């Protein structure tokens, strides 16, 4: 029998079911059932088949793993069970009632139908699905992302000759006609040719006499594919974007071409061909727009950050080439390396530069000024491109980080032998080094030797683990999320230092323990599972938690960019639904659990 009216109203108030049309909501209510359970009841255990999604109406449910470690406590408006359902696997968690509960049960086939048939439901339950190949194109982008805002306009009374002069002055193929905030029509080069040059219209006549009145238009919610289809079907090259009678922008064939070319590959090509840092900066200024596009077309976070980092790598190599052209060939072999987020290929919407130079042991004191000049040239160029100077001076311009290989070897040996707080910090940074440009043989053997020595030093490893635990997930005492307490980011979540960094630190520890050479966090976790440093189940949970945290961070940065704000790493938790907050907290609990295992000295394999 259908849900009672009171429970149906409750279901209608819970996201994402509140987005369902009335008919779909009524249909859902007719197939759901109501279940009551007493404190102490086990709803499902590890290995059980899960057949329903559970939506809590009242009471409290504890979720634990197979070792009885508490992962979360869920209250009204939260749901559980979707993990096993979406994976099509038996339960890997235990759900126990800790306070008398009432739940709405959604049958698994019904949940899958909702995901397939309703975008808002899919967004919540299917958000970590890799995008389909046909999703990853500019055609699915909102038209507002590619339209030319504030197009050139003139009044209906403007002489045709002046309208033509405007088009020539701005090097555009159309002028929009408007008056007192009202869009009236459009004049294109085709109109000028057909109606003036061929048709003989008087150039001094008002432009309204040759304009196309009420042209084909689209609203701001249209997609790029709508514009494309309209242009192809009607044989036009200009589509005004209008809301009511107000002109918001215009999309031309040039805009479409630019959107199709707006890819990391295009930005890499343009950076690689730039003749100076200023030219590169004009390209890297488009990275925020690229970030938004990559997120909105469904790319996974590790793909997004990899593509964005590729642009920084290309800029660095181009600046190195320009430096050599300016200062002459290098007097000795060298290698430019990146650390930090660039070293891990994890750059996003906010990034400074962290880099260093390893020089051949053949370099002489007389040759060192050359590399000081090269480092300054490249670092200044990167700053011009938006990769601002490192506040901690972790750059090749610092003589400490521009040294022959034997000095670098002594650095690592010293940090490992005497793991002081500074040594731990520096080692953490330098274990993320990745070659960018120059002689890669200067690092390969040194990296391998360093990992081998470090992994066998239990005292150093213990200090590195302790250092990594300084970054704790933002979990509150009362089962909530701990936000920043003061300052400009008060009441917000720090998704970098409290979210992403704890996983980055764990990945670095696993790489150290397994002598694994990848620097990318996602790649490190996968390599750790393969090398049996990390258990398949624990590794899968940690990767899933990392994916959710990192994706949430990037999605919030994309939102900030679209709102015209400078992206940062701080999220207002009130912007999330109950569902999103619950799952984000679960992800933090997984990270905390893995930290506890590392800190207690327990083997990751359990």
Question: DSSP string covering 354-393, please?
Answer: -EEEEE-TT--GGGHHHHHHHHHHHHHHHHHTT-BPPTT-
Residue 574 lies in a domain: yes
| 182, β-bridge pairs | 179
Contacts of 596 (CB under 8 A, 6+ apart): none
Tens of pLDDT, residue by residue over 570-599, are 999 988 877 788 889 989 999 999 998 888
Q: Are residues 440 and 301 located together in one domain of the fold?
A: yes
Residue 179 lies in a domain: yes
Question: Count of domains in the chain?
Answer: 4
The answer to whether 379 and 342 are in contact (CB under 8 A) is: no
Cα(503)–Cα(523) distance, integer angstroms: 12
Q: Enter the DSSP assignment of 56.
A: E
Altogether, the residues listed in the chain come to a count of 606
Q: Are residues 84 and 203 located together in one domain of the fold?
A: no
CB-hemisphere CA count at 13 Å for 242?
21
Cα(104)–Cα(536) distance, integer angstroms: 33
Quick one: pLDDT band at residue 133, thresholds 50, 70, 90?
A: very low
Residue 381 lies in a domain: yes
CATH number for the domain that contains residue 412: 3.30.460.10
Q: Are residues 519 and 397 located together in one domain of the fold?
A: no
Nearest to residue 327, comparing CAs of 274, 362, 370, 363? 370
C-alpha angle with apex 242: 238 to 243, nearest 5 degrees? 165
Residue 461 lies in a domain: no
Using CB atoms within 10 Å of the CB of residue 393, give its burial: 0 to 12 exposed, 13 to 18 middle, 19+ buried: exposed
Mean pLDDT, rounded, of the chain:
88
Q: Are residues 73 and 167 located together in one domain of the fold?
A: no
Cα(96)–Cα(384) distance, integer angstroms: 56
With 0.85 as the threshold, say if the pTM is over it: no
Residue 604 lies in a domain: no
Q: Are residues 383 and 498 located together in one domain of the fold?
A: no
CATH number for the domain that contains residue 474: 1.20.120
Tens of pLDDT, residue by residue over 304-335, are 898 899 899 999 999 999 999 999 999 999 99
Nearest to residue 78, comparing CAs of 548, 589, 590, 580? 580
pLDDT at 261 over 60: no
Q: Are residues 231 and 289 located together in one domain of the fold?
A: no
Residue 35 lies in a domain: yes
Task: Please report, for residues 77, 95, 109, 538, the alpha-carbon distance to residue 50 in angstroms, rounded to integers and kept in the order given.
Answer: 19, 11, 12, 21
CATH number for the domain that contains residue 93: 2.60.120.10
Q: Are residues 112 and 165 located together in one domain of the fold?
A: no
Q: Are residues 235 and 94 located together in one domain of the fold?
A: no
Looking at the chain, the whole-number percentage of residues with pLDDT higher than 70 is: 93
What domain range includes position 527? 469-599
Q: 103: helix, coil or strand?
A: strand
Q: Are residues 281 and 326 located together in one domain of the fold?
A: yes
pLDDT at 69: 67
Question: DSSP string covering 181-210, please?
Answer: TEEEEEEEHHHIIIIIIIT---TTSBGGGT
Phi then psi for 178, rounded to 5 degrees?
A: -155, 165
Tens of pLDDT, residue by residue over 385-424, are 999 999 999 999 999 999 999 999 999 999 999 988 888 8
Q: Are residues 178 and 267 located together in one domain of the fold?
A: no
Contacts of 471 (CB under 8 A, 6+ apart): 497, 498, 501, 502, 505
Using CB atoms within 10 Å of the CB of residue 481, give its burial: 0 to 12 exposed, 13 to 18 middle, 19+ buried: middle
Q: Using alpha carbons only, how large is the chain's radius of gyration in Å?
A: 29
């Amino acid at each position: 029998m259908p849900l009672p009216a009171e429970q149906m109203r409750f279901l209608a108030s819970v996201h994402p079911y509140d987005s369902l049309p009335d008919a779909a909501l009524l249909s859902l209510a007719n197939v759901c059932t109501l279940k009551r359970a007493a404190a102490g009841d086990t709803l499902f255990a590890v290995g059980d088949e899960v057949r329903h999604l559970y939506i809590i109406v009242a009471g409290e449910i504890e979720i634990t793993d197979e070792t009885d470690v508490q992962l979360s406590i869920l209250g009204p408006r939260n749901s559980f069970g979707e993990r096993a359902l979406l994976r099509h696997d038996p339960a890997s968690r235990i759900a126990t009632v800790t306070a008398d509960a009432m739940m709405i049960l959604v049958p698994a086939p019904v949940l899958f139908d909702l995901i397939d048939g309703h975008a808002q439901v899919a967004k919540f339950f299917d958000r970590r699905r890799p995008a389909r190949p046909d999703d990853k194109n500019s055609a699915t982008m909102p038209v507002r992302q590619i339209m030319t805002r504030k197009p050139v306009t003139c009044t209906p009374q403007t002489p045709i000759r002046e309208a033509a002069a405007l088009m020539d002055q701005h090097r555009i193929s159309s002028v929009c006609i408007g008056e007192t905030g009202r869009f009236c029509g459009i004049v294109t080069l085709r109109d000028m040719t057909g109606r003036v040059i061929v048709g003989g219209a008087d150039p001094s006549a008002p432009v309204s006499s040759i304009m196309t009145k009420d042209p084909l238009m689209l609203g701001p919610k249209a997609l790029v594919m709508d514009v494309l289809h309209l242009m192809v079907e009607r044989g036009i090259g200009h589509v005004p974007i209008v809301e009511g009678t107000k002109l918001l922008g215009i999309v031309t064939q040039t805009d479409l071409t630019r959107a199709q070319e707006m890819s990391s590959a295009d930005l890499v090509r343009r950076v690689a061909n730039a003749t100076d840092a200023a030219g590169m900066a004009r390209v890297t200024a488009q990275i925020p727009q690229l970030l938004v596009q990559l997120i909105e077309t469904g790319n996974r976070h590790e793909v997004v950050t990899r593509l964005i980092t590729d642009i920084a790598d290309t800029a660095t190599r181009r600046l190195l080439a320009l430096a050599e052209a300016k200062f002459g060939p290098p007097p000795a072999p060298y290698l430019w390396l990146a650390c930090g987020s660039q070293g891990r290929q994890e750059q996003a919407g906010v990034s400074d530069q962290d880099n260093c130079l390893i020089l051949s042991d053949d370099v002489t004191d007389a040759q060192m000024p050359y590399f000081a000049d090269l480092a300054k040239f490249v670092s200044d160029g990167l700053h011009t491109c938006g990769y601002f100077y490192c506040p901690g001076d972790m750059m090749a311009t610092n003589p400490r980080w521009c040294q022959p290989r034997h000095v670098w070897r002594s650095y690592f040996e010293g940090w490992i032998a005497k793991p002081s707080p500074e040594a731990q910090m520096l080692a953490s940074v330098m274990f993320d080094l990745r070659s960018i440009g120059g002689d890669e043989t200067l690092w390969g053997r040194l990296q391998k030797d360093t990992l081998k020595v470090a992994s066998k030093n239990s005292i150093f490893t213990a200090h590195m683990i302790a250092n990594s635990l300084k970054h704790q997930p933002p979990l509150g005492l009362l089962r909530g999320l701990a936000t920043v307490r003061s300052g400009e980011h008060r009441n917000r979540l720090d998704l970098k230092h409290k979210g992403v960094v704890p996983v980055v630190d764990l990945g670095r520890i696993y790489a150290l323990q397994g002598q694994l050479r990848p620097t990318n966090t996602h790649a490190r976790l996968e390599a750790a599972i393969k090398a049996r440093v990390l258990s398949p189940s624990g590794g899968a949970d940690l990767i899933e938690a990392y994916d959710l945290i990192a994706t949430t961070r990037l999605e919030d940065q994309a939102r900030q960019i679209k709102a015209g704000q400078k992206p940062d790493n701080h999220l207002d938790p009130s912007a999330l639904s109950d569902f999103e907050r619950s799952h984000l907290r679960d992800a933090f609990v997984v990270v905390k659990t893995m930290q506890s295992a590392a800190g207690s000295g327990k083997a990751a394999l359990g």
